[in-house]
Amino acid sequence: MTLISRYRVTILLSFLGWGCLAIYTYKGSYVDDNGVLIESFGFIPLFWLFQLLALVSLIYTAVKHRK
């Protein structure tokens, strides 16, 4: 079994997390005419959630395939 196929869930979760952070950075934030901050704040917790899930998946897979 190759290394990439063994850790595909971990890699997918990590890429999803970094994708959320990239979307947050790309969209940016600004202050409208009324002085209200407009930003896509929801992508920050999603980034951390996906990174945490990737870490848990990494640990689980490493322990499962330990010889």
- Per-residue pLDDT tens for 2-22? 877 889 999 999 999 999 999
- Output the pTM of the full model: 0.84
DSSP string, the chain: --HHHHTHHHHHHHHHHHHHHHHHHHH-EEE-TTS-EEE-TTHHHHHHHHHHHHHHHHHHHHHHT--
Whether 67 has a pLDDT exceeding 80, the answer reads: no
Tokens 């640990």: give the residue.
Answer: 59
Residue 34 has a pLDDT of 93
Residue 18 has a pLDDT of 97
Residue scoring higher pLDDT (1 or 44): 44
Residue 33 has a pLDDT of 93
Residue 1 has a pLDDT of 65
